[in-house]
Structure 1
Amino acid sequence: MENQSVMIKDIRQGMKNLVMTVIVLDIGPAVQVKEREVRTLKVADGTACINLSLWGDAGNHIVPGDIIRLSKAHVNVYRNCVTLLNGKACEIDKVGEFCMVFNEQLNMSEPNLELSTGACSGKNGGGPPLAMGPPQSSNKPLPPRGPLPTPLPQEGKGPKLNSNNGGKPPPQRVGGGPKGPPRPDRR
């Protein structure tokens, strides 16, 4: 894989010595970790986008829109997200600005709960790196997210309007506590 450029969509957990050309889309704030500074950049190529953790002073010299060539980068998992890292031997060269076709629809750094931090550090039983890519689909229905919509009241079955509160339906108690429905507003 040496001197051969890799596309982001082909990146897999545990890959090392990667050579790739990407465009910088976004740069996060610098965070101090021990004695070093790290920035998270969102970078992309024509196939996908990924987070790049940039250690050291290099983050101060890169701006969104820069096209950079990474040599000897590696891939790891951080907080269940595949992340590209610049190691101590990584070389970063600016090769252009703004003119690059990129795809940010496929985000390789989306959280994936199937990834474990043990596997990312090379402790996956000596097996090959786990495949990274879009989650596999299954025929199981997904559980609903958030509250279900409230059905509209049918004629004669909805809350009764009360003339004491301006024609509005009475407020409903959430959870229906032991005291029953709340009393109408007093004036």
Structure 2
Amino acid sequence: MAVPLKIGQQLVPIAKFRPSMRGFDCEVIVLETAQPTTTRDRMTIHTFLVADQTGSIMMNIWGDDGNCIHNGDIIRIESAEAKVFRGFLHLSVTRFGKIKRVGEDTMLFKEQPNFSDTMWVTEDEAAKMAQSSENV
């Protein structure tokens, strides 16, 4: 049984994510789980490949919340953010955001396009890249 949306709540599809978007809600299915990594500050980062009907994206969850997420879980994120990490778009949760498991294995999704495969650059970086290619 699906968990109903709150009154007025709108879910943003992955295809509409843009760098520096914050505070939006989305619902995704977990396709793959990567091995967690630990930062120098001993914080754990869990990385997942997630998807919806419009495509897929990498999702990073900081801390112990990632331990409860498994392949096939359908999760709703309230107050999500899309940010560029090492040039690629990733989905994460804001500090006061919420992750809720709302189902399992019963969501239509597309693996392609993977929006984390596209490198995002600023206008300044694009201009520098264009200038350096002209000088070659």
Range into which the TM-score falls when normalised by the shorter chain: 0.7 to 0.9
2 CA distance for matches of 1:16 and 1:35? 26
Give the drift of 1:87. Answer: 2.1
Structure 1 residue aligned with 2:44: 37
SS at structure 1 position matched to 2:22 = coil
Structure 2 unaligned regions, length at least 5: 1-7, 125-136
Q: Which residue identity is paired with 1:63?
A: H
Structure 1 residue aligned with 2:23: 17
- Structural RMSD (CA): 1.7
Q: Percent identity?
A: 34
Once the two structures are superposed, residues 135-164 of structure 1 have per-residue CA deviations (whole angstroms, 9 ceiling, x without a partner) of xxxxxxxxxxxxxxxxxxxxxxxxxxxxxx
Residues 1-187 of structure 1 mapped to structure 2, 5 A cutoff? 3-33=9-39, 34-112=41-119, 114-116=120-122
2 CA distance for matches of 1:35 and 1:71? 26
2 CA distance for matches of 1:81 and 1:31? 18
Where in structure 1 do 4 or more consecutive aligned residues deviate above 6 Å?
none
Q: Which residue identity is paired with 1:115?
A: V
Larger % of strand: which?
2
Higher RCO, Cα 8 Å, sep 6+:
2
Q: Which residue identity is paired with 2:92?
A: L
1 CA distance for matches of 2:112 and 2:36? 25
Q: Which residue identity is paired with 1:9?
A: A
Q: In the alignment, is the contact (CA less than 8 A) between 1:79 and 1:111 conserved in 2?
A: no
Q: In the alignment, is the contact (CA less than 8 A) between 1:17 and 1:72 conserved in 2?
A: yes
Q: In the alignment, is the contact (CA less than 8 A) between 1:73 and 1:86 conserved in 2?
A: yes
Give the drift of 1:35. Answer: 2.7
Q: In the alignment, is the contact (CA less than 8 A) between 2:15 and 2:54 conserved in 1?
A: yes
Once the two structures are superposed, residues 47-81 of structure 1 have per-residue CA deviations (whole angstroms, 9 ceiling, x without a partner) of 11000011111111110000000000111101111
Q: Which residue identity is paired with 2:46?
A: R
Q: Which residue identity is paired with 1:93?
A: K
Larger % of helix: which?
2
Please, what TM-score do these two structures have when normalized by structure 2?
0.80
Aligned length: 116
